[in-house]
Each structure stands twice: as structure tokens, then as C-alpha cells.
Structure 1
Amino acid sequence: MCGRFNLRTNLTVIADTFGVKPRQMELPLRFNIAPTQDVLAIRQGDQERELFQPRWGLIPSWAKDPSIGNRMINARCETVAEKPSFRSAFKRRRCLIPATGFYEWKGKKSPKQPFHIHMQDDSVFGFAGLWETWKSPDGPTESCTIITTEPNSLTAEIHDRMPVILHEDDYTIWLTDDEPDELRGLLMPYPADEMVAEPVSRHVSNARNEGPECLNPA
């Protein structure tokens, strides 16, 4: 699964990387993004790509209780096109979720050792995501999930799943294509030789902790 990640860059870099116009919003550096928090995401608008900030944990449009989103932080690539919670969003509401790294925990006994997994050049990249709008008496809530796949050889040493990281050349296909087989073909493990995994402080294991201390070496 993917249950924690970071975004340690600015809007200018994100706009250049993802081909989107920056908008006026607060974007502090975030070192420990956790489920139920708002995240930055990119979707295809009527004319161009747009930034938005959904809640992490997808709430299906048919849900009676928004707490279901707490269990929908990830969608498995093997079943995302068929599972009722995700199939509508997979057809019509796909997004990119920018990140500069994600965390996985190794070990069968607590306390487990967290690892920070990121690109070798520490550049920003995009998770394959889905988004939905849930309507309540208080107004609409936008939410999202991150799709996961089997691990590459690097992540397999730590965990049995990893988030789907899309190549930059595939962003347009992911956001706009309607062909299910082509979309499924993108949901593959990212090349291990372009990534690095580093053990970090257990400070990151507490979702309440923020700041660069989350990346202190173990």
C-alpha cells in the first residue's frame, strides 16, 4: 500500500513538470502527508489541466457515510476497473498526485523501520490517482485515492506493494484517454534503477509529525 508520502517542492516546479498553470494557493513543504489530509492533485479540465486539493481517501458518490474514505486511500491496479468503489472514477475521473517521495515500513514486528523511497535525483513525480465528488447537506467534498501495483525490485525488499508512478510521457494518456486496456497498461512498477530507498527516523511513523526531521537518517 501507500499510506504516507511527501511533497517538498514549489508550485513553479509542479506547474512546469505537469503542464498546468499555477494558481493562488498555499503550498508549504510537506514531509509527512497522511490519509484524510488534503493533497495537491492535477486533473483534466474542459480546456486545460487544473490544480485542485482533494481529501486523501476516496468517498464514492453513492456512499452514505464519508468515513468510508478512510479505507479507500489505495486502489489495487488489478481490480480498479471492476471494483464498485473505483470503476466509475477509473473511467471518467483520473488524476495525478505530485510527490517527491513515499514511505514504506519494513519488518514484521513493531517498531518497524521506515524507508524513504524517491527518485535518484530527488525530482517530483506523479502518482496515478482517481478522484470523486461526494455530496452532503453541507456541500460537496472532493476526495482521491492512489493506485498501487506490485513492487519493483527495490521496493520488494521493503513491502509487497508500491504506488503506481507514471512516466511524464504518459500524463496525457492517463488524464484523457478512454481506452481501458491502454490505461491498464500504464499501471506498472516504476523502474527500480531510477529510484533509491533510504532508512529514515521513526519520527515519520507518527502522522502528527511534520518537518524535515521526518527524513533524518535512521
Structure 2
Amino acid sequence: MCGRYAASRRPEDLAGIFEIEKWEPEETLAPDFNVAPTKEVHVVLDRPVKDAGSASASSSAPGKPVRQLRRLKWGLVPSWSTTPDGGARMINARAETVHEKPSFRRAFAARRCIIPADGYYEWVTGSAERELEVEGRRKRPRKQPYFVTPADGSVFAMAGLYEFWRDRTLPDDHPGAWWVTCSVITTEAETAPLAAAPDEGPRALADIHPRMPLMLTPDRWDAWLDPARTDTDDIRGLLAPPPTGLMRAYPVSTAVSNVRNNGPELLKELEGPEEGTLF
């Protein structure tokens, strides 16, 4: 799965990388090194501009799609949901079933996006039977976080979906009447050796966690974002995992486990797992 990631690039940088045509300064987000579910995140999407000042443009708008950088809430709320309460549980959609799940299939057909990241965090859980002897008492080891990122330092373009939800308890002109939310699509983690695999710890992404965000290589960005592509089989073909060997993973401080901690120090590479943890 993907439950935490880092996104520190400035909107100006993202605009150049993704050839953004429109983004609003008021939607700018500060660098976030500990993105957690329900936070607002930057998202790249192609959509006609119906009303530059309205977030309620949920219906199909005529005109040419415009590539936009938008600020959305992480945790998809289906349009048919009666409340937004389930959004925190909809942070991920499985690539294998996203086209058929009621919560995601409509967005998969028409509302796809890219969620830019520096990389994502995942925790090595170890074996339940492995314990540490601490002061004469048996204690389970702490989970060790790893940061997974493109080995060449490029943007991690996570495949995503977005959806509109109308809060019927509020009048049409209320600024909170419309929610725009998103979800990260995940796939099976790579079993091939990591680029620059560490001396200690996992040798492949699958050793860290069986799932990972699906990274879209630049040659698939335009096709994925194109809202005119609505054929399910055609779109599913874009969900093929990227070539192996593009990623590296390294241990980082357990400080990232607390969502209140946020700063570039969370990305600092450690020489090995922190004392008191086991792989």
C-alpha cells in the first residue's frame, strides 16, 4: 500500500516537469515531507476549465482539456457516498481491480490524475516471532521505515484517480459544498533487485512490502491523463508496472512514524536500521 509519502517540489518545478498550463497561486502547498491521508496534496490532471473560480465544476465541461495543477484531499470520496467519512480508507486503489470496484470505476474511466512525489515511506514489519531481549524482558522490535525513491532523483509520478463529492447539507454557493478527493493506485511490489541495494536490509521492494504505488513513466503521462480515453481495456494497458531497477530504498529515522514530524531531515539516509529495530 501507500500510506505516507514526501512531496517537496515547488509548483513552479512541477509546472515545468508536467507541462502545466494552469495553476492558481492560492492553491500552492508548502513542501511536505510527511504526507498523510486526508491531507491536501498537489495533483496533475487534464480537464476543461469550466469556471476558473469554481470548485464545483463536477460535470463534464465543453472545450479542450487543460493540464492543471490542483490541490485535492488525499482519500477518495465516491460521488454517491452519503457522507465523506470513508475517504480516509480510500487512499489506495488496487491496479488489478480498480476498473470494477464501485468506489473507483467511474473515476478510472474519466477522472485520472498523477500525484507527484519525491518517494514514499514503507515500514518493514519483520516477523512476529522475532523479539529483542531488553532489560531482561522480551519486547518486539520497532518497525523500521524505509524511503523508496527513483534512483536518478526524478519525480515519482504516482498513478491516481480523482472524484467530486457534493455535500448536500450546504447551499450551492458555500465554499465547502464540493469536495475534490484523490486516491493512489497501487500494484505488486518489484521482486527484482533494487538499484544500489543496501548492505543490510531488503534487497527488493517486495521485501519491504508486497504493494507499492504504481509509477507512471513519462511516456505514459499524456495517455493516462487524457479524459477522452474511456475504454477500460485500453486504460488498463497503461497500468503495466514500469521497468525494474529504477528505484532505490534506504532506511530513515523512525521520526517519520509520527505524522507531526515534518522536515527534510526525515529523508536523511541512515547507514543501517536504527538501533532496536530488526529487518
Flag whether TM exceeds 0.5 (same fold).
yes
Q: Which among 33, 36, 39 is matched to residue 34 of structure 1?
A: 36
* DSSP-derived class of the 2:183 partner: strand
Normalising by structure 1, we get a TM-score of: 0.95
Counterpart residue number, 2:232: 180
| RMSD across aligned positions (CA) | 1.4
Aligned-partner SS, 1:166 = coil
Q: Secondary structure at the match of 2:114?
A: strand
Partners of 2:117 and 2:263 in 1: CA distance: 15
- Give 2:125's aligned residue: 107
Length, aligned pairs only: 218
Normalised to the residue count of structure 2, the TM-score between the two structures is 0.75
Counterpart CA distance in 2 for 1:188 and 1:207 is 32
**How far 1:52 moved relative to its partner?**
1.1
* The one of 252, 255, 258 aligned to 1:200: 252
Contact 1:151-1:189 within 8 A present in 2 as well? no
- CA separation in 2, counterparts of 1:20 and 1:171? 12
Q: Which has the larger radius of gyration?
A: 2
CA distance in 2, matches of 1:182, 1:196: 30
Moved more, 16-25 or 89-98: 16-25
3-state SS in 2 of match to 1:142: strand
Residues 102-131 of structure 1: CA deviation (Å, up to 9, x unaligned): 111112455211110001122213111001
SS in 1 for 2:76: coil
- Are 2:163 and 1:125 aligned? no
Q: 2:207 maps to which residue? A: 157
Moved more, 38-47 or 208-217: 208-217
Q: Matched residues in 2 for 1:6 and 1:170: separation?
A: 22
Aligned partner of 1:147 in structure 2 is 185
- Paired residue type of 2:186: T
Tell me the residue number matched to 2:58: none
Which structure dedicates a bigger proportion of its chain to helix?
1
Contact 1:60–1:134, Cα closer than 8 Å, also in 2 = yes
Identity %: 45
Equivalent residue number for residue 67 of structure 2 = 49
Deviation at 1:199, TM superposition (A): 0.5
